[in-house]
Amino acid sequence: MTQSPVRYDRQGAVGLITVDSPPVNALSQAVRQGLWDRVTEGFQDPAVTALVIMGAGRTFIAGADIAEFIKGGMGEPDLNDVNDLIESGPKPVIAALHGTALGGGLEVALSCHYRVAVPKALVGLPEVKLGILPGGGGTQRLSRLVGAKTAIEMITSGAFIPAPKAQALGIIDHVGEGADPLSVALAFAATLPAGPHKRTRDREDGLAADRGSSVFAEARAALAKSARNQFAPQRCVDAVEAAFTLPFDEGLTRERELFMQCMAHDQAKALIHVFFAERAVTKIPDVPPSVTPRKIGQVAVLGSGTMGGGIAMNFVNAGIPVRLLDLDQAALDRGMGVIAKNYAGTVAKGKLSQAEMDKRLSLIQPTTDYADLADADLIVEAVFEDADVKAKVFRRLDEVAKPGAILASNTSTLDLDAIAANTGRPADVIGMHFFSPANVMKLLEVVRGKHTAPDVIATAMAVGKQIGKVSVLVGNCDGFVGNRMVQYYATEAQRLVIEGASIEQVDQAALEFGLAMGPFAMGDLAGLDVMAFIRARRVAAGLIYGTPLSDRIDPARKGQKNGRGWYRYEPGNRTPLPDPEVTAMIDAYRAERGITPRTFTHEDIAKRLIYALVNEGAKILEEGMALRAGDIDIVYIYGYGFPAWRGGPMKFAELSGLDQVLADITRYHADAVAAGDADGAYWEPAPLLKRLVAEGRKGFG
Ligand code: 3HC
Ligand code: NAI
């Protein structure tokens, strides 16, 4: 018989129930059964007058076992039955919280008669981040303790609340000293009153004031904007409202119905996929956790321009000192000025203290002297995107960097192996591709060169985590993963316009799909001049792809930076406005090619944009440039504002049905061929997609 993950011990007159199911004590079937058995045992144990439920290891219970959700069929006992048993038993039960008491874990705690915690404990109901809602009575019990407004805020944001704040809100009864939840709980148990010990379901503290209040309507209206198109947040409000309109048991039934609706929704499938994909990106088959990362104490950044400045900020924000090198003092002063301005903006918003700003700035040492880089453990190059400039820089770095230093390039489009060949130590060279603004965007593409050493990869991944990035390992191909795919997305946006859609309509369709920004607005933000520069290199290298309108637009149109791009912008205002000059250019182009504009639905447009990503993503996957389809999804969610609730482009394709997606792609290809439109050649269906569909497979594996 396998051992139960839940133990029962006795400490004086207190029965101790310890959940010991690493890594996070999630409520698997075995844990639920164990809780049921041990709580029953405790209630029957004549030697104890109270029970304590706690978690072994680093945390209390961090929630339902999400892996079980995917497998389906959660098995008996149901969490609600366990909670009912705890709440309605003959002895008081104290939840002793440390680490994170989340989701089903907090629901177990809410079913206890008392909750105590160590100061560092965090509580929350983060189910909404998985596209679901608390399904173990959390919406009903929390509402009874804290009222509608706080319950809605907590449940629709999924925020983790520190124990002292949770105590102030009435969720936790007592926050003790130190780090040991057991001693806090035992001290609390020693002072327990005789009773009766109120069940949370019977408490009315939070209900009275909010019955019939406008808070529900207001929350729905706010979420319609902030969580546009999302299913679960609105259902969370419905569930909380039920606590105010229905008796407890009926409220629970309503919560269960809403929970099941969410679970059946594609958005839950998408978000649960993202949860696991985000954790899977850290796993690299030939770089196991046994590979020790190199120690990074001192960093150097080369180039103090747009990217270099942001990259330097990432490191000093994490307390790692940086030497920042540029060509001359003027460039350095400019770069340092931008960094200081960025921090000052954060200080002005009240999100950073002046003292902290000063401390961070003092960690950056500007220099123009390569000799100052001699003690750097990691050097990140972010100079001009020019192969000759980079070659010179890497030759120089090879001379000055100490043995074992990691030489990283932030190049977006150049060949990493060619860059590494300028050094006598290609094993120490790696790509660390940040996204703009580098101090804000969470994505870091870690580019593996032909010779990059495993511990260099491990270090880049670890450092990425340390500075708060989501790091994804990618192969060395043109544009790596993100930009390689986005070029087809941008081209498709232009083809749609040539065929009859307007620029505004294409961007609107992308926004409605859930993207943070449409493709044309994105081009204006990135800078059309920068894109033209990159395109020129690609054309020269024979890596031609069509961006027909980019070749026609007036080169003086640089985008937001000079107020003229695909859109026009009023001075000091980032709102894109339609520009008649651009419309005239498009009309002329259509006339030249004899194209009669046709109409599109927003759904047609979104499909063509997203499937352009999917088809290239499948090619990338087959070439091994990304390790997993989920890695591509994470690149898009954290680097390109792709909505997590769609799961990323690859998961979206799976949820749409790979066979349907392939049928559409095949049709787009046939249409491009029939129209003699060479720009649409990339619609040639990815062989991997064809194979998966032929084999009847539903996913990328
Ligand atoms: N179920 C299953 N596995 C889980 C899990 C869960 N609830 N929470 C974490 N894990 C796994 C992770 O997948 C990871 O596995 P791996 O090592 O194989 O990759 C491992 O535990 C460690 O997780 P992290 O890498 O995320 O560790 P951190 O220390 O960075 O974070 C955490 C810990 C804050 C607990 C974070 O894992 C987390 O936020 N977990 C999810 C919490 C959550 O959403 N709970 C609600 C679940 S839904 C629910 O309870 C429904 C109920 O109302 C009915
Ligand atoms: P930038 O033009 O803003 O900054 C480049 C800086 O490098 C300038 O300050 C310049 O003086 C300095 N520089 C040039 N030659 C140098 C040399 N030999 N030694 C030291 N410093 C030198 O350019 P940006 O946008 O910051 O780009 C830098 C790198 O980052 C490029 O490789 C680019 O492809 C990449 N990148 C850019 C992104 C963006 O959105 N701008 C996004 C991701 C990567």
Which letter does DSSP use for residue 699 in this model? Answer: S
Which CATH number is 399's domain given? 3.40.50.720
Choose one of 301, 329, 383 to mutate for the ligand 2 pocket test, by most ligand atoms within 8 angstroms of C-beta.
383
Which CATH number is 88's domain given? 3.90.226.10
Cα 415 to the chain's mean position, in Å? Answer: 28
Residue nearest (by alpha carbon) to ligand 1 atom 32? 62
Number of other CB atoms surrounding residue 219 within 10 Å: 22
Which residues lie with the beta carbon below 6 Å from any ligand 2 atom?
Answer: 302-308, 325-327, 331, 335, 382-385, 389, 393, 410-412, 434-436, 526
Edge to edge, what strands does the sheet with 161-162 contain?
100-102, 122-124, 161-162
Examine residue 67 and state whether it is found in any structural domain, yes or no: yes
Each residue's pLDDT tens digit, 10-30 = 999 999 999 999 999 999 999
Choose one of 412, 522, 525 to mutate for the ligand 2 pocket test, by most ligand atoms within 8 angstroms of C-beta.
412
Residues 305 and 236 grouped into a single domain? no
Residues 158 and 208 grouped into a single domain? yes
Asked if pLDDT for residue 549 goes beyond 70, the answer is yes
Residues 228 and 130 grouped into a single domain? yes
Q: Which ligand is nearest to the CA of 444?
A: 2
CA of 23 to the centre of ligand 1 (A): 8
| Residue 551 pLDDT | 86
Q: Coil, strand, or helix at residue 597?
A: coil
Contact 356, 331 (CB under 8 A): no
Please report the atom of ligand 2 found closest to the CA of residue 335: 9
User: In Å, what is the CA distance from 517 to each residue of 506, 512, 565, 693?
Assistant: 11, 10, 15, 31
Q: How confident is the model at residue 546 (pLDDT cuts 50, 70, 90)?
A: low
CA of 309 to the centre of ligand 2 (A): 10
DSSP states of 637-698 as a string? HHHS---GGGT-HHHHHHHH-HHHHHHHHHHHHHHHHHTT-GGGGGGS--HHHHHHHHTT--
Residues 223 and 358 grouped into a single domain? no
Please report the atom of ligand 1 found closest to the CA of residue 102: 45
Q: Residue ranges of the alpha helices (H) in 386-478?
A: 387-400, 416-420, 454-466
Please report the atom of ligand 1 found closest to the CA of residue 133: 53
| Residue 676 pLDDT | 87
Each residue's pLDDT tens digit, 380-411 = 999 998 999 999 999 999 999 999 999 999 99
Going by C-beta distance under 8 Å and a sequence separation of 6 or more, which residues neighbour residue 274? 633, 634, 637, 644, 647, 648, 651
CA of 176 to the centre of ligand 1 (A): 25
| Residue 1 pLDDT | 57
Residues 259 and 309 grouped into a single domain? no
What are φ and ψ of residue 214, in 5° steps? -80, 0
* 301: enclosing H helix or E strand: strand 299-302
Please report the atom of ligand 1 found closest to the CA of residue 107: 53
Examine residue 278 and state whether it is found in any structural domain, yes or no: no
Cα 76 to the chain's mean position, in Å? Answer: 33
Residues 531 and 439 grouped into a single domain? no
Task: Kindly state if the Cβ of 62 falls inside 6 Å of ligand 1.
Answer: yes
Residues 128 and 202 grouped into a single domain? yes
Q: Which two three-digit tokens encode residue 392?
A: 């010179």
Half-sphere exposure of 643 (CA within 13 A, CB side): 24
Each residue's pLDDT tens digit, 584-630 = 999 999 999 999 999 999 999 999 999 999 999 999 999 999 999 99
Q: Which ligand is nearest to the CA of 26?
A: 1
| Residue finishing a domain among 427, 458, 476 | 476
CA of 24 to the centre of ligand 1 (A): 6
| Residue finishing a domain among 242, 264, 286 | 264
Asked if pLDDT for residue 207 goes beyond 90, the answer is no
Examine residue 288 and state whether it is found in any structural domain, yes or no: no
DSSP states of 467-484 as a string? TT-EEEEEESSTTTTHHH
% the chain with pLDDT above 70 = 99
Residues 507 and 447 grouped into a single domain? no
- Structural domain of 466: 299-476
Q: What dihedral do alpha carbons 633, 635, 639, 645 form, nearest 10°? A: 20
Number of other CB atoms surrounding residue 164 within 10 Å: 14
Which CATH number is 497's domain given? 1.10.1040.50
Asked if pLDDT for residue 576 goes beyond 90, the answer is yes
Which letter does DSSP use for residue 113 in this model? Answer: S
Asked if pLDDT for residue 427 goes beyond 60, the answer is yes
Which letter does DSSP use for residue 516 in this model? Answer: S
Each residue's pLDDT tens digit, 302-341 = 999 999 999 999 999 999 999 999 999 999 999 999 999 9
Residue nearest (by alpha carbon) to ligand 1 atom 38? 62
Task: Tell me which residue has tokens 């999630």.
Answer: 26
Task: Kindly state if the Cβ of 24 falls inside 6 Å of ligand 1.
Answer: yes
**Listed residue (622, 666, 610, 335) closest to 493, CA to CA:** 610
Q: How confident is the model at residue 84 (pLDDT cuts 50, 70, 90)?
A: very high
Question: Higher pLDDT residue, 580 or 679?
Answer: 580
**Listed residue (318, 278, 634, 294) closest to 458, CA to CA:** 294
Q: Which ligand is nearest to the CA of 335?
A: 2
Examine residue 661 and state whether it is found in any structural domain, yes or no: yes
Going by C-beta distance under 8 Å and a sequence separation of 6 or more, which residues neighbour residue 620? 477, 481, 484, 485, 626, 632
| Residue 454 pLDDT | 98
| Residue 642 pLDDT | 97
Residues 508 and 459 grouped into a single domain? no
Residue nearest (by alpha carbon) to ligand 1 atom 30? 279
Asked if pLDDT for residue 289 goes beyond 70, the answer is yes
Choose one of 301, 302, 304, 306 to mutate for the ligand 2 pocket test, by most ligand atoms within 8 angstroms of C-beta.
306
Examine residue 290 and state whether it is found in any structural domain, yes or no: no
Each residue's pLDDT tens digit, 29-60 = 999 999 999 999 999 999 999 999 999 999 99
Each residue's pLDDT tens digit, 470-499 = 999 999 999 999 999 999 999 999 999 999
Examine residue 286 and state whether it is found in any structural domain, yes or no: no
| Residue 534 pLDDT | 79
Examine residue 289 and state whether it is found in any structural domain, yes or no: no
Residues 333 and 429 grouped into a single domain? yes
Predicted model pTM: 0.95
Catalytic residues: 107, 127
Q: Which ligand is nearest to the CA of 307?
A: 2
Task: Tell me which residue has tokens 């109120």.
Answer: 198
CA angle 498, 502, 505 (to 5 degrees): 130
Provide the ipTM: 0.96
Number of domains in the chain: 3
Task: Kindly state if the Cβ of 110 falls inside 6 Å of ligand 1.
Answer: no
Residues 248 and 369 grouped into a single domain? no
Q: How far apart are CA 700 and CA 47, in angstroms?
A: 56
Task: Kindly state if the Cβ of 689 falls inside 6 Å of ligand 1.
Answer: no
Q: How confident is the model at residue 101 (pLDDT cuts 50, 70, 90)?
A: very high
Residue nearest (by alpha carbon) to ligand 2 atom 10? 303
Q: How far apart are CA 620 and CA 96, in angstroms?
A: 48
| Residue 462 pLDDT | 98
Pairing of strands 93-97, 14-19: unpaired
User: In Å, what is the CA distance from 430 to each residue of 68, 419, 427?
Assistant: 38, 9, 8
Average pLDDT over residues 422-431: 98
Choose one of 27, 66, 271 to mutate for the ligand 1 pocket test, by most ligand atoms within 8 angstroms of C-beta.
66
Q: What sign does the CA torsion over 472, 291, 322, 375 have?
A: negative
Number of other CB atoms surrounding residue 290 within 10 Å: 7
Each residue's pLDDT tens digit, 231-255 = 999 999 999 999 999 999 999 999 9
Q: Which ligand is nearest to the CA of 432?
A: 2
CA of 227 to the centre of ligand 2 (A): 36
The strand pairing partners of 122, in sequence order, are 100, 162
* 315: enclosing H helix or E strand: helix 306-317
Examine residue 269 and state whether it is found in any structural domain, yes or no: no
| Residue 389 pLDDT | 96
Average pLDDT over residues 353-377: 98
Average pLDDT over residues 504-510: 98
CA of 504 to the centre of ligand 2 (A): 31
CA of 268 to the centre of ligand 2 (A): 40
Residues 383 and 257 grouped into a single domain? no
Q: How confident is the model at residue 2 (pLDDT cuts 50, 70, 90)?
A: confident
Q: How far apart are CA 28 and CA 517, in angstroms?
A: 39
CA of 313 to the centre of ligand 1 (A): 30
| Residue finishing a domain among 220, 249, 264 | 264
**Listed residue (186, 203, 129) closest to 159, CA to CA:** 129
